[in-house]
Amino acid sequence: MIYLAQLRAQLERSFSPLACECVVDGDHSLTVKLYEPVSGRVDLVISGLSLGALRTPEAVDALIDELRYELESNSLRSPG
């Protein structure tokens, strides 16, 4: 399993200029929030991710791909 600080840093590199917050919930699932650091505007929040599934670099890459897809889908629906 990857450490949260490493995961956050990797997500921030992948989604720059967005910032990232990773929180472990009470049920040991992960919540990831991608947001604009200056304005605080939240672009994406995904909850219920399995920490156990993030054991390999390939799994983290798959998560990044999934988050990128969700972020792009949200952007397509946003006005303006």
10-46 pLDDT, tens digit each: 999 999 999 999 999 888 899 999 999 999 999 999 9
* In the chain, domain spans: 4-77
Of the pLDDT bands very low, low, confident and very high (cuts 50, 70, 90), residue 51 is confident
Quote the CA–CA distance of 76 and 39 in Å, as a whole number.
20
pTM over 0.75: yes
Residue 44: strand pairing partners: 34
Residue 34: strand pairing partners: 20, 44
| pLDDT given at position 79 | 57
